[in-house]
Amino acid sequence: MPAVTPAEPVRHAGAIVVGGGPAGLMAAEMLAAQGLPVDVYDAMPSVGRKFLMAGKGGMNITHAEPADAFLGRYGVRADRIGPLLDTFDAAQLRAWVHALGIDTFVGSSGRVFPADMKAAPLLRAWLHRLREAGMRLHVRHRWIGFGQPVDGWHVLRFATRQGDAQVEVEVAARTVVLALGGGSWARLGSDGAWLPMLAARGVDVAPLRPTNCGFDVEWSEVFRTQHAGEPVKSAAIGVTTLDGTVLHRPGEFVISETGIEGSLVYALSAPIRDLIDAHGSATITLDLAPGRSAGDVATEVGRPRGSRSVSSHLQSRLGITGVKARLLREALTKEAMHDPVALAAAIKALPLRLVRARPIDEVISTAGGVRFEAMNDHLMLNAMPGVFCAGEMLDWEAPTGGYLLTACFASGRVAGAGAAAYLKVSPATC
């Protein structure tokens, strides 16, 4: 059956928010707090799906580290994220969570979690409060672009179902907040389909790129078969960035079927991705004994091993065994494994060539999107007055650890407050 489009769009006297993730719901909260009518549209059968997925391993809301260090996590976009955090920082986010009746605690790593480590109770309490404030929710409405403006009102087109029929509906609003997410985890609603739509309207956008992602390594079949899924604990990764900065970070990562992934890899994914984009591959170094100095390692490796094998020698002298030992054999020649100088150097700086980032749809988040230069300080598009953007669809990135969520919440508040102010100064025409 062909799509049915109303001859005249339904007019909405308040604001429309497109996207029911943390940024969109926070924008809706700011609008509703001003007593303004606000409707939230989302493509999925329920809202907050990626938020709930992120909470499956323990809902990391934000981080308790000092403000300067916190802001530094946003890299080259720290100057743009800073003003957003000035309106809603980590401490204010925790207070906001407490006001929903959810206690929080700070873990040993400084990460902040709900007391029960779950996302669902927080989301339920939040949605209840939003509905009490007058927010109306429309699920299974997929935004498919803008229609022709009507008397200066923005017209949004949605694909939805009415009974067994796929239909298209149009809604006109004086102001709109877009919070459509990035391009990762399309099955949860973030597919990046909005990027060409905004580009066609003259909005300056950057291509979406993977971040907080794993990377492919050309493992041997034997290594991949025997070690995929194994964690590499008590290690460190070194990488020299495009500008020559040397980064060295301890932690742990996981051997995957295709390469490496895990928290330590995600923390360095942005500079590694940039190196691959520039050079076609990136070589990192693995420190397999981060608690030992290079001199100490050289001394232990150089001790006589008698009739013992190299593997037994490394295990007894340095505790290197299992997947760490196999990484050495994967990367080194037989001659290097029997050369104490070369072996000791490799234990402290084992070269590993990464050939590509994992596909966008399976990464935790994406970089790229609407450039900050395309918006004013209230996150309103210069090319489309009355249209605001928030969340991961903006051109910024941050590591995991609560930084992603904090900036999504903060940008939603700024965009929602901006939309509320716009409604008050922009006269309605009916």
266-293 pLDDT tens trace: 999 999 999 999 999 999 999 999 999 9
Same domain, 131 and 235: no
CB 272 within 8 Å of CB 284: yes
Per DSSP, which regions of 218-329 are E strands? Answer: 231-240, 246-255, 259-261, 282-287
Domain containing residue 24: 10-211+362-425
CATH number at residue 173: 3.50.50.60
- Of 308, 339, 357, the one marking the end of a domain is 357
206 and 221, same domain (yes or no): no
CA-to-CA dists, residue 22 to 46, 119, 169, 186, angstroms: 13, 11, 25, 16
Q: Which of 15, 11, 12 is nearest to 36 (CA)?
A: 15
Q: Can you tell me the distance from the alpha carbon of 35 to that of 20, in angstroms, rounded to the nearest whole number?
A: 19
Residues 349 and 366 in one domain: no
Q: Quote the CA–CA distance of 407 and 396 in Å, as a whole number.
A: 9
Question: Residues 317, 370: one domain?
Answer: no
Q: Do 26 and 160 belong to one domain? A: yes
| pLDDT-based confidence at residue 232 (cuts at 50, 70, 90) | very high
CA gap 328, 330 in Å, rounded: 5
Is a pLDDT exceeding 80 seen at residue 428? no
Residue 324 lies in a domain: yes
pLDDT digits (tens, 9 = 90+) for 195-221: 999 999 999 999 999 999 999 999 999
Measured distance CA(356)–CA(173) in Å, rounded: 43
On whether both 347 and 402 belong to a single domain, the answer is no
Same domain as 255, residue 185: no
Which of 94-98, 286-290, 303-307, 424-428 shows the lowest mean pLDDT across its residues? 424-428
Angle between helices 403-425 and 90-99 (to 10 degrees): 80
Is residue 35 included in any domain, yes or no? Answer: yes
- pTM across the whole model: 0.90
Let me know if residue 430 belongs to a domain.
no
What token pair was written down for 207? 């291509």
**Does 56 share its domain with 160?**
yes
Domain boundary among 339, 357, 375: 357
Give how far Cα 184 sits from Cα of 24, 143, 329, 377, Å: 17, 17, 35, 26
The whole-angstrom separation of Cα 22 and Cα 124 is 13
113 & 172 share domain: yes
Total domains in the chain come to 2
377 with 83: CB under 8 angstroms? yes
- Mean pLDDT computed over every residue of the chain: 93
Does any domain span residue 2?
Answer: no
316: left (phi over 0), alpha (psi -120 to 50) or beta: alpha
Whether 221 and 343 share a structural domain:
yes
Q: Is there a single domain that holds both residue 270 and residue 143? A: no
Q: Is residue 311 part of a domain?
A: yes
Where does a domain end: 327, 357, 387? 357
Q: Is 3 inside any structural domain?
A: no
Burial class, 196, CB count within 10 angstroms (exposed 0-12 / middle 13-18 / buried 19+): exposed
Residue 399 in domain? yes
**Do 152 and 227 belong to one domain?**
no
- DSSP three-state, residue 260: strand
